[in-house]
Chains A and B, each alone.
Chain A
């Protein structure tokens, strides 16, 4: 991408805390993104060749970035319009709780997701409800509240792109990310 002009803005303390989402193998303090600008806790915004402001860090991995031992134990699926945790996923949460108790420096981000039915703004509220429900359960399993944060993506980040129940059932989920 050819960057013509580089603009940097201070985005305040709230933005700084977000680097907590990344894992140890991901550089966060200083790293080069486009055009030699330095990511130093400020958000670097690049004006792209087509005139758009380009934001976000393309070098950060998207998707799940937790410890290998939990690679197949990080997703809890939900029924339609429900934030009820089904029994079959309790072991997933127990495994994660065990890991978090043993690693007090580890930070969990509970991501809440919904299927595409309903409106995006309503779904983001439903996704938050799912994330909260999981976060509460993790606390009950003895995880320190300071280790847990939540974020709802609503229907914005489906894992399955289809538009039928097969896809929807995989998209109604909470992901235990690190």
Chain B
């Protein structure tokens, strides 16, 4: 089962396994599926607690409330196996057990999900095994989380995805640094370092390239860079703004904001045709384009009605329609894959992450005041965004149901502009 992941992860392998981001959970851990993740039977010298990685993944999704070992009655585990009757007294609906066994230069990783309550009591709900070299064991742990997430929600997990973000390290020769990392901050890899600001990274749907805005020449320009070879192309350096690139989910276009024709308007560059198309033509500010999952609609922010609100342009009908009415100001619309809802930044006692449901109602997801740059996980479960926490700019995660919240304080610099990468092959 792990064979495919190993292939995928080979190119993503990074030697640096330290997380630049720490996770600090601030709410919502008592809801969701109560699953006990038992420490795996694994070699004592192994520098990774597989069960801890799985437990943290499940918790962050907001869909699970993993039980700490202390919540299990004594005798719930015997020789790495779950003792069903005893463990069931904890109220947990299932237990995850597993082992990591060295085989040659690799490790064999195996896990089992056992039901503890009702009709599932004592039943094996899932069991998988696969091989991974030591440096990919963290990915193998995320793979286990993906399996468990899918078992309970019917949707693919997004625990093996990468994020991109910009770090600002004041005083360094190249203070602005574009990085990629696992979604939980591990395996950080630098992509671009600049003397001048870098903004708005956006992923190609195959996860091999990033488009972004760079001010390296003291003027904004939009580039597209391969994150493995680091080769890049320049897409836009028009007079005025070259901002807010957004790669279409079908991979064929990059939407952007340009002000070359007067006011900021939304355009897109067709990567196949090598042509630029104009989408909006309005005297007010139009910016922050973002695509629907099927690449047929562009959401954007416009001041045409006075204060900034979200609008959408439908490529089939060529009609533009206002989307948000609640809230004095709404910005940065991001469709939530698999739903008809949007994530936005709304102005209410500051700027906060909120969800706009199909009926137009606004549901606040955070209580902070300086939130920006929301980016939704490709399975729609979580939103990563930037905010100010304890006087520093950093990243935070909130589940799209608002249940789970966590800050990811950084060990170095101020972090902004997170962009959640795509789900790669199974």
Chain A positions within 8 Å of B, measured between CB atoms, are 1, 7, 9, 11-12, 14-15, 18, 21, 43, 47-48, 50-58, 60, 62, 109, 116-122, 124-126, 128-129, 150-154, 156-157, 161, 163
Q: List, sorted by A's number, 10 A–B pairs whose CB atoms are closer than 8 Å.
A: A52-B193, A53-B191, A121-B301, A122-B287, A122-B332, A125-B259, A126-B285, A128-B264, A151-B218, A156-B199
Q: Interface on chain B toward A: helix, strand, loop, or mixed SS?
A: strand
**Contact indicator B370/A117 (Cβ below 8 Å):** yes
Pairwise interchain contact A125-B287, C-beta atoms closer than 8 A: yes
Q: Is B373 an interface residue (CB 8 A)?
A: yes
Question: Are B214 and A122 touching (Cβ within 8 A)?
Answer: no
Q: Kindly list the 8 A-B residue pairs having the minimum CB-CB distance in the complex, ordered from nearest.
A: A56-B195, A52-B190, A156-B197, A56-B216, A121-B244, A14-B237, A55-B216, A18-B217
- Is A153 in contact with B197, judged by CB distance below 8 angstroms? yes
A38 CA to B199 CA, complexed, in Å: 27
**Smallest distance from the beta carbon of A153 to chain B beta carbons, Å?**
6
Point out the residues of chain B lying under 8 angstroms from A156, CB to CB: 197, 199, 215
A135 to B174, CA, bound (A): 30
B174 closest partner in A (C-beta): A54
Q: Is B243 an interface residue (CB 8 A)?
A: yes
Instruction: Judge if B296 is at the interface, Cβ distance under 8 Å.
Output: no
- With an 8 A cutoff between CB atoms, is B115 at the interface? no
* Given A51-B189, A58-B174, A125-B287, A43:B217 Cβ within 8 A: yes
When distances are taken between beta carbons in the complex, the residues of chain A under 8 Å from B225 are: 53
B356 close to A (CB within 8 Å):
no
Q: Which residues of A contact B173 (CB under 8 A)?
A: 1, 58
Contact check, A52 vs B234: say whether CB atoms are below 8 A apart. no
Task: Give the CA-CA distance A154 to B416 in the complex, in Å.
Answer: 14
Q: How far is it, in angstroms, between the C-alpha of A9 and the C-alpha of B217 when the chains are bound?
A: 14
**Across the interface, which residues of A come within 8 angstroms of B194, CB to CB?**
54-56
CB neighbours of A157 from chain B (8 A):
197
User: Which residues of chain A are within 8 angstroms of B347 by Cβ–Cβ distance?
Assistant: 118
A118 to B216, CA, bound (A): 24
CA of A54 to CA of B216, assembled, Å: 10
Given contacts A53-B191, A58-B173, contact A119 B370 (CB under 8 A): no
Residues of chain B with a CB closer than 8 A to A128's CB: 240-241, 259, 264
**B264 touching A48, Cβ below 8 Å:** no
Judged by a CB distance under 8 angstroms, whether B308 is at the interface is: yes
CB pair B190 A48 closer than 8 Å? yes
Cβ of A119: which chain B residues have Cβ within 8 Å of it? 288, 301, 331-332, 345, 351, 372-373
Measured in the bound complex, the distance between the Cα atoms of B240 and A151 in whole Å is: 7
- Check B195 against A153 for contact (C-beta < 8 Å): no
Question: In the complex, are the beta carbons of B199 and A124 less than 8 A apart?
Answer: yes
Within 313-357 of B, Cβ neighbours of A (below 8 Å) are at 331-332, 345, 347, 350-351
Give the docked Cα–Cα distance between A11 and B287 (Å): 26
Nearest CB on A from B284, distance (A): 10
Q: Which residues from chain A contact B189 at a C-beta distance below 8 Å?
A: 51
* Distance A117 CA – B308 CA, assembled complex (angstroms): 14
Q: A125 contacts which chain B residues (CB < 8 A)? A: 241, 243, 257, 259, 264, 285, 287
* Interface size class of chain B, counting residues whose CB lies under 8 Å from the partner chain: 35 or more
Q: Which residue of A lies closest to B230 (CB)?
A: A53
Shortest Cβ gap from A134 to chain B (Å): 15
Taking a contact as CB atoms under 8 Å apart, the answer to whether A60 and B199 are in contact is no
Question: Please, which residues of chain A bring their CB within 8 A of the CB of B200?
Answer: 120-121
Rounded to whole angstroms, the CA-CA distance of A37 and B231 in the bound complex is 18
Q: Which residues of A contact B215 (CB under 8 A)?
A: 151, 153, 156
- Among A21, A55, A126, A150, the one with the most B-chain Cβ atoms within 10 Å of its Cβ is A55
A156 to B414, CA, bound (A): 12
Residues B234 and A11 in contact, CB atoms below 8 Å apart: yes
Q: How far is the CA of A55 from the CA of B191 in the complex (A)?
A: 11
Q: Which of B192, B391, B416 has the most CB of A within 10 A?
A: B192
Which chain A residue shows the least CB distance to B14? A51
Residues of A within 8 A of B221 (CB): 14-15
Chain B minimum-CB-distance residue to A1: B173
A12-B234, A125-B285, A151-B219 are contacts. A120–B199 as well, Cβ < 8 Å? yes
Chain B residues whose C-beta falls within 8 Å of the C-beta of A51 in the assembled complex = 189-190, 230
A residues within 8 A CB of B259? 125, 128
- Cβ–Cβ contact B351 & A117, under 8 A: yes
- Whether a CB of chain A sits under 8 angstroms from the CB of B388 is yes
B-chain residues with CB within 8 Å of residue A60 when the two chains form the complex: 195
Out of B218, B230, B240, B257, name the residue touching A121 (CB < 8 Å).
B257
- Check if B304 is an interface residue, CB within 8 A of chain A: no
Given A14-B237, A52-B192, A125-B285, answer yes or no on A163-B391 (Cβ-Cβ < 8 Å): yes
Bound together, the chains give a CA A109 to CA B218 distance in angstroms of 10
Contact A48 B193 (CB under 8 A): yes
| Interface check B51, CB cutoff 8 A | no
A122 to B: closest C-beta gap in Å:
5
Is there a chain A Cβ closer than 8 Å to B417's Cβ? yes
B283 within 8 A of A: no
Using known A-B contacts A1-B173, A14-B237, determine if residue A122 contacts B193 with beta carbons closer than 8 Å: no
Is the CB–CB distance between B197 and A53 below 8 Å? no
Do residues B351 and A15 form an inter-chain contact, with CB atoms below 8 A?
no
A119 to chain B minimum Cβ distance, whole angstroms, is 5
Candidate in A9, A51, A150 with the most chain B CB atoms within 10 angstroms:
A51
Residues of B within 8 A of A161 (CB): 170
Do the beta carbons of A57 and B237 come within 8 Å of each other?
no
Residues of A within 8 A of B196 (CB): 56, 62
